[in-house]
Amino acid sequence: MKFTIYGSGCAKCNQLTANVEEAAKAKGLDYEVEKVTDTNAIIDAGIMRTPALAMNDEIVIEGKVANTKELESLLGSL
């Protein structure tokens, strides 16, 4: 599973990263995390609000920090 975090590297972005890692570990997934902080790359990905999260290159969250339970639910639906 590949997670991509889009954002400037702020506290919210870091919290989303930590929550994603915790949710993936809880589900027993092998995963990698990529952080995209370049503004042009974020815009090119079609992101309008950060932080944002893509799972396997599909944007699933934009403009909020999802908690671990929300992320586990998303992982269960994939």
> Which pLDDT band, with edges at 50, 70 and 90, does 77 fall under?
confident
List, for residues 7-64, the tens digit of each pLDDT value: 998 999 999 999 999 999 999 999 999 999 999 999 999 999 999 999 999 999 999 9
DSSP of 11-41, one letter per residue? Answer: HHHHHHHHHHHHHHHHTT---EEEEE--HHH
56 C-beta neighbours (distance < 10 Å), count: 10
Of the residues 3, 5, 13, 55, which is catalytic?
A: 13
Active-site annotation holds for 61: no
> Which pLDDT band, with edges at 50, 70 and 90, does 76 fall under?
confident
Domains of the chain, residue spans: 2-76
Of the residues 2, 8, 10, 41, which is catalytic?
A: 10
Q: How many CA atoms lie within 13 A of 61 on its CB side?
A: 26
CATH number of 2-76: 3.40.30.10
4 C-beta neighbours (distance < 10 Å), count: 19
What angle is formed at CA 20 by the lines to CA 16 and CA 22, rounded to 5 degrees? Answer: 115
Active-site annotation holds for 13: yes
